Structure 1
């Protein structure tokens, strides 16, 4: 029978004490049917004799099955079945379509004017239900365990459900500063239907009065994902039943939800003078169980109690002649890399840099970078990596904020001068350390190892201070599970200013692997990078999903065998559906794909989930259980623990929690808090998630204005504050958009500003480029008379207009000669650019000023190859990013 037919029917079960007069019952049924003009010719009372008593569990199962069996569309609108039990009692089961109402007297019926009860429109979602889509249409049933002595009425029961749903983060919010009595009084005044507090929650509530032994179902199949049916009996006794669609609400979560309703109802009834915020959602036993669910015990090793350079020294002693690092033509053994780092450490001491100091490192990805980072650690200092492609103002701020006096910078890329700061090259640093003897490095695992700066909502980046012991704990947590060892070849693909590099460098070198340093321009050319993966026989690859999407595309075209056995995703949410082409060529048993949720403040990674083709089918958001030594919990805005399924703020504790934000005690106290449930400090991540019954985590996005774009963590408020720093900007906003929904390559930041008269958007964007790194500069800036606000004074993003196309005033002149407007090659390239950027492009336009990014560069170059156009390197693209110059470059390549 279809589910739609079940929704068109309702039922009533009435206990008939023995001795049972079946003939009398049939006579009364026919009389009621005749009164309702049903026609009694086909009405009959079906009888079934059962070999057990009315109180037997088998009887309950039979009653339920019969009362939930719908009518055929062509049948009479009523079916009556008498279930006779061995002890002489019986149950009368009546099933009717909604066009027929069964009265309080089960033998009186009334035709409704129109069929009622069937669900109409789109059903609200039940985000916290964690149901199984394959079970959609099947009905589950859970008893609400109301206390035996509870005197319940409609107001108490409906109020309890509304408060539980508010704590779950769905339904209407509740002012929890009120007294319980005042809260319930509002529910008393709303009558039997109740206020619209449950609207849109996906949960229905029905409260009815009944005689002992009666059981009414307003619909044989739930019209909503979950429906609570409360029955009130004489004397104040109440019973409750939760019926739910198994496709949307799993039995484990359903049972806990029903328990929460009962627990809250008992507290509301017992203490009418207490404030609502004193009501506990979870029992002490469930609180302990949920906390335990988010804990992964630490592995039994001593790595976490060591320094990074101490652990590296262990590897050097074990395999001094093994190759530690490959960077272009450079190959260094572990002993050679150790010696370079020793000289760098001695050079820092020669410069008077004291242990515990912060040392800036502003180098391209090469062998010098890795040796310098290790040298800083050997000197007892913490390294502060800086990307030379960041604006000078941002680099100066980092140096000043960290109190840096020495920066190790490259020869070709000059570091901006700063007062009191000495800039030395790696060669100069090592020369200073020649002949000074080995440095005796400090071995304090609690000392800072590095400080990485992340986007900050105040308009300035914030430095995250991470101690040595956290890095060791990360290796402890992953080494055995990922089978990391001396046979592995890793890539250093990411900027040292991005915390993914911590995992790549030390994950490799502290487990004895070989680190392949990937040149900046190779990371931006997927074909070259794929060649490198093949040539170097890379086995461990760390990628943002956006970058790996390009690898999948290259892999689809190429046939060279890859040696990759482990791919670690991080930096941004993973849409598992993108992995289908990869699984088509690479069995998941041969190459393991691991989705890892992580935060700089919790040492790169927090969870791990191995992705399989089954995950691709369900398109879930799983990021897995906490790593060994880490803890996970989900909290509400007041910091209270939430149950399995309910969405809230992800809080992370355990071995990975960083020390602090550098120089920001207020923000540190706000985000790094003592756990009221015990267990030390936890970091309030600002990420939204929910815990699953198996302890795994679903990542559901952000709670604030932070976004992830191509692996970069961006505070939209930082962009807004930078725009407000322009003297002609009176108000501003920044939003994340996608040219193509769910396509990470088309992610872009669009900004809006209220400008004083005479100010151009080009001037404001130039100001932003001088402060923000390239990945944070808005792709567009739209001038508005005023920024629209909600009634709460926040930016009303729904009221913002579509981003303005880049104006001519923001476009740069090409450096080369313009192409002939009738040149078919020029028209072809302009069309390619326009398609990628979703806008009309002229020869005067700059690819990046129109919103282009590294992923779109790769896409354009790939499409050029497919069209048979000359090959252009990514480096040449960046150097000729104006359409006119790019067209001239292609002409020259054609000879």
Structure 2
């Protein structure tokens, strides 16, 4: 081919290339080819024509029917216009066999579709003046169709998935333009989980009554009658084009156009329209001609699925019976629904074990009796000692009234006794109910009453047990053990309850989740081999026993023969102390919520050549893998494996697992992996129907981990644990939003109640947080909606950020504004030394709004007072006053003046900056007044030059 660079086609593409469209004519008649070549050459030589556009004739070396000719034709119609181009380009490619391809490309503001066709056909007419024709057509073309800015990739496009292209779509059908547009709107609303959607409509004659390009908005809410939907869409199609140049191109475009042999219409420049559905026909009937898409925005399989689902919905719309609504339309047929359910299912690796948790511990006590099972700061118990002591306590508990079908409360500090007590309760045949001694009395009282506790094992002197409920201390259990030595322990089975964990309820009342022994054993059977869990491992019990993550930590360790290190509460609140414990104990398996791990990241960065655990499991809350970029620079994948696990208390801690690797930490940031063996996930709409890969809906979970029930809540159990007619399984409705990917992995995209609306815009808080966390100046972040109590007009986003050293909220806001649209940009960014955590180690959202309001203005004299080593007590008091309140006295108790975990972190950071060195949280809690703390910590260094 004697092809040369075209005039004004090199360099950057024009802004608004979504406004570019083109047409291709295949010319086979000799007279038409000769006329096209003559007219195009004359236009290229005419100064007047060159002012209107560029005209070019090129000669190919291969025949018109070769693949190379097809590639040339597509290249010419999709080649971007240069920013300095007048807005029109014409290229005639002549082939040795006498045929030719005429390509005309223009911006819509220069030539509309009718103008494109008339110019192309005019050029094949002998002796036409191209420059005069262009002037006439430009004056006639619609000026209101200047185009759109390019569309971003839709979240449902899954373009990054690495799967082959599907087979060609068959079965196209004929429908009216109103029906196919309505069907496309319904399909888009299901993919985006939004009742209102926007799509672009490009209509040419003779396919519609109002030719032109426009963006239409469609209300596709479930309660809308089908007749109203079609009527609404018909009115929108008949309305004149009215979008402006700054309209954003929606992710979906419909092209309704007539079909002429040897003529191809290309409605968009490449890379600007994520997905288009092209329909050929007229006002009475159109049929699907194709689904062109940008492969960088929409995977070919998703594009084809979307087109097939639109056809399926269109068929239902065309045959719609009176009285039906949009919600009655099914997106998938039965065959595809079954295939989608199978995509999210992972087979169990082995048959379930007919055992209980205490059976397995007893077996290990026989196999490795002298191996250390559990330890704390002062004591260590071997597997034999653990089993024997738990058995002795269990006999006392049986004599006290514990047994099968009953619930026993365990409210102990984090020591070896906590684990012994849990195992003892299981040996009685009862289920343990863990209660955190740090929890408010009202919560403890409610749980004790709701669970109907038969006994309580606690060290709290004032535990709010119900009247008549025996309350036993560990020392009393040990003392009474000899008298109960002959008591026989009841038998329990794998289907019996093992524990009841109370989780937050939407009504404000905690709800108890009853989990069986077999569920926990299935969890370990599903994960032990893959994670190589065994007797050489050292685990930490970091989380509260009242948080289901502790189930994974305790039984994951003890059922695989490892050593469990019980972490004291104060150590869990001090990243410095916890990091030292991890190193000192040689921890190999570490479980962390992302919020808690943020502090450990900072401590690891300060430690030279610190070894890392071989396995770190994240769970309990949403994890963004981009937060661990710095971790990978210090700890290679080969030395430390990171696993993100999504799970729910009602499905036994974990559901899916995803390896987080250094080379793909920035890809698929919301992906939580495939279900672990024996578990299943599917994405459902509000009516429980499966949704295809890419579409957002509620995550439904099935398989070996499903809890037995909610305690004393039969209505809630029936609502959330459902018998699914499609799969024949019992499934749990999680209340979480997600989407399946093409390979069966799951994206977690938030909670059903995390989608908010501000000024009419739907916003996912997780999406805003993801942008903040990805900022190099942000270590961790949270996003809340505040001001809603004053009315919707006062609602605003507030971002809370833990900043990297040297970063400012102004820097973060400036960078964030280049990524997020205005309506998603937080109205306020608040910098914090750390995010507040709950007892479970999760983000304490309730504490965040208070964190942005200073308790009082710091006193001027206190700030101005020199901090040096001459008067440590005065220097200490000055720091307290600068952080907490101006009127703090030397003997004021930290907690009595409103201290909390977040304020403690602020105070310790200020003390370090003032020269006091690293003051631990334990030191602050043990010496909670300025005078007392000054007496036990290192005096501040004198500032330079003092």
* TM bucket normalised to smaller: 0.7 to 0.9
In structure 2, relative to structure 1, the CA distance for the partners of 1:4 and 1:698 (3 Å cut) is farther
* Partner SS, residue 695 of structure 2: coil
Residue in 1 aligned with 2:471?
Answer: 423
Residue in 1 aligned with 2:933?
Answer: 889
Residue in 2 aligned with 1:166?
Answer: 189
* Partner SS, residue 60 of structure 2: strand
Compute the displacement of 1:71 (Å). 4.1
Aligned partners of 2:897 and 2:791: how far apart in 1?
Answer: 24
Compute the displacement of 1:653 (Å). 0.9
Runs (5+) with no aligned partner, structure 1: 747-770, 783-801
Q: Which moved more, 1:538-547 or 1:88-97?
A: 88-97
Residue in 2 aligned with 1:496?
Answer: 545
- 1:517-548 superposed Cα distances (whole Å, 9 cap, x missing partner): 11122222222222221221110011111221
Residue in 2 aligned with 1:751?
Answer: none
Q: Could you tell me whether the CA contact under 8 Å between 2:177 and 2:286 is conserved in 1?
A: no
In structure 2, which of residues 24, 46, 60 is the aligned counterpart of residue 48 of structure 1?
60
Aligned partners of 2:842 and 2:461: how far apart in 1?
Answer: 17
| Residues 86-235 of structure 1 aligned to structure 2 (within 5 Å) | 91-98=101-108, 99-101=110-112, 102-105=115-118, 106-108=120-122, 109=134, 110-111=137-138, 120=148, 123=151, 126-132=154-160, 145=169, 147-148=171-172, 150-168=173-191, 169-170=193-194, 171=197, 173-192=219-238, 201-232=250-281
| Residues 609-688 of structure 1 aligned to structure 2 (within 5 Å) | 609-618=658-667, 620-688=669-737
Compute the displacement of 1:662 (Å). 0.7
Q: Could you tell me whether the CA contact under 8 Å between 1:379 and 1:439 is conserved in 2?
A: no
Compute the displacement of 1:485 (Å). 0.5
Compute the displacement of 1:221 (Å). 2.3
- 2:75 counterpart of 1:65: yes
In structure 2, relative to structure 1, the CA distance for the partners of 1:226 and 1:573 (3 Å cut) is same
In structure 2, relative to structure 1, the CA distance for the partners of 1:83 and 1:143 (3 Å cut) is farther
- 1:492-535 superposed Cα distances (whole Å, 9 cap, x missing partner): 11111111110011000000111111112222222222222122
In structure 2, which of residues 442, 462, 471 is the aligned counterpart of residue 393 of structure 1?
442
Q: Could you tell me whether the CA contact under 8 Å between 2:632 and 2:662 is conserved in 1?
A: yes
Q: Could you tell me whether the CA contact under 8 Å between 1:346 and 1:430 is conserved in 2?
A: no
| Residues 252-331 of structure 1 aligned to structure 2 (within 5 Å) | 252-271=301-320, 273=322, 274-303=324-353, 305-331=354-380
Residue in 2 aligned with 1:545?
Answer: 594
Q: Could you tell me whether the CA contact under 8 Å between 1:152 and 1:232 is conserved in 2?
A: no
Residue in 2 aligned with 1:761?
Answer: none
Q: Could you tell me whether the CA contact under 8 Å between 1:142 and 1:243 is conserved in 2?
A: no
Aligned partners of 1:774 and 1:145: how far apart in 2?
Answer: 47
Q: Could you tell me whether the CA contact under 8 Å between 1:819 and 1:843 is conserved in 2?
A: no
| Residues 325-724 of structure 1 aligned to structure 2 (within 5 Å) | 325-410=374-459, 414-434=462-482, 435-437=484-486, 439-559=488-608, 561-562=610-611, 564-618=613-667, 620-704=669-753
Residue in 1 aligned with 2:888?
Answer: 843
* Partner SS, residue 278 of structure 2: strand
Compute the displacement of 1:275 (Å). 4.1
Compute the displacement of 1:219 (Å). 2.5
Q: How many residues of Structure 1 are paired with residues of Structure 2 in the alignment? A: 816
Q: Which moved more, 1:498-507 or 1:69-78?
A: 69-78
- 2:924 counterpart of 1:877: yes
Aligned partners of 1:184 and 1:35: how far apart in 2?
Answer: 50
Compute the displacement of 1:242 (Å). 3.0
Q: Which moved more, 1:12-21 or 1:313-322?
A: 12-21
In structure 2, which of residues 24, 28, 49 is the aligned counterpart of residue 38 of structure 1?
49
Aligned partners of 2:599 and 2:35: how far apart in 1?
Answer: 77
Compute the displacement of 1:405 (Å). 2.5
Compute the displacement of 1:422 (Å). 1.2
Q: Could you tell me whether the CA contact under 8 Å between 1:342 and 1:438 is conserved in 2?
A: no
In structure 2, which of residues 2, 27, 36 is the aligned counterpart of residue 16 of structure 1?
27
- 2:89 counterpart of 1:78: yes
* Partner SS, residue 4 of structure 1: coil
Aligned partners of 1:218 and 1:143: how far apart in 2?
Answer: 24
- 1:287-331 superposed Cα distances (whole Å, 9 cap, x missing partner): 22211111111111433x421111222212211121111112211
- 1:209-240 superposed Cα distances (whole Å, 9 cap, x missing partner): 24233221232224343333333269845333
Q: Could you tell me whether the CA contact under 8 Å between 1:118 and 1:223 is conserved in 2?
A: no
Compute the displacement of 1:878 (Å). 3.3
* Partner SS, residue 460 of structure 1: coil
Residue in 1 aligned with 2:128?
Answer: none
Q: Could you tell me whether the CA contact under 8 Å between 1:779 and 1:849 is conserved in 2?
A: no
Aligned partners of 1:221 and 1:831: how far apart in 2?
Answer: 64
Q: Could you tell me whether the CA contact under 8 Å between 1:146 and 1:266 is conserved in 2?
A: no
Compute the displacement of 1:821 (Å). 7.7
Q: Could you tell me whether the CA contact under 8 Å between 2:651 and 2:705 is conserved in 1?
A: yes
Aligned partners of 2:797 and 2:412: how far apart in 1?
Answer: 31
Residue in 2 aligned with 1:249?
Answer: 298
Compute the displacement of 1:119 (Å). 5.2
Compute the displacement of 1:597 (Å). 0.8
Q: Which moved more, 1:676-685 or 1:58-67?
A: 58-67
Compute the displacement of 1:62 (Å). 4.4
| Residues 803-818 of structure 1 aligned to structure 2 (within 5 Å) | 806=855
In structure 2, relative to structure 1, the CA distance for the partners of 1:681 and 1:829 (3 Å cut) is farther
Runs (5+) with no aligned partner, structure 2: 1-9, 123-133, 198-217, 756-764, 770-781, 809-838, 940-946
Aligned partners of 1:330 and 1:246: how far apart in 2?
Answer: 60
- 1:684-714 superposed Cα distances (whole Å, 9 cap, x missing partner): 11111111111111111111269999xxxx9
- 1:422-445 superposed Cα distances (whole Å, 9 cap, x missing partner): 110122124334253364442311
Q: Which moved more, 1:588-597 or 1:292-301?
A: 292-301
Q: TM-score, normalised by structure 2?
A: 0.77
Aligned partners of 2:178 and 2:306: how far apart in 1?
Answer: 19
In structure 2, relative to structure 1, the CA distance for the partners of 1:59 and 1:306 (3 Å cut) is farther
In structure 2, relative to structure 1, the CA distance for the partners of 1:79 and 1:122 (3 Å cut) is closer
Aligned partners of 2:554 and 2:369: how far apart in 1?
Answer: 18
Aligned partners of 2:797 and 2:465: how far apart in 1?
Answer: 34
In structure 2, relative to structure 1, the CA distance for the partners of 1:245 and 1:352 (3 Å cut) is same
Aligned partners of 2:56 and 2:492: how far apart in 1?
Answer: 88
Q: Could you tell me whether the CA contact under 8 Å between 1:454 and 1:464 is conserved in 2?
A: yes
Residue in 2 aligned with 1:757?
Answer: none
Q: Which moved more, 1:56-65 or 1:565-574?
A: 56-65
- 2:873 counterpart of 1:857: no
Aligned partners of 1:828 and 1:48: how far apart in 2?
Answer: 85
Q: Give me the CA root mean square deviation.
A: 4.4
Aligned partners of 2:618 and 2:58: how far apart in 1?
Answer: 62
In structure 2, which of residues 2, 5, 14 is the aligned counterpart of residue 4 of structure 1?
14
Aligned partners of 2:659 and 2:491: how far apart in 1?
Answer: 38
- 1:361-382 superposed Cα distances (whole Å, 9 cap, x missing partner): 0001111110110010010000
Compute the displacement of 1:460 (Å). 1.4
Aligned partners of 2:53 and 2:472: how far apart in 1?
Answer: 102
In structure 2, relative to structure 1, the CA distance for the partners of 1:37 and 1:730 (3 Å cut) is closer
In structure 2, relative to structure 1, the CA distance for the partners of 1:26 and 1:79 (3 Å cut) is same
Q: Could you tell me whether the CA contact under 8 Å between 1:830 and 1:841 is conserved in 2?
A: no
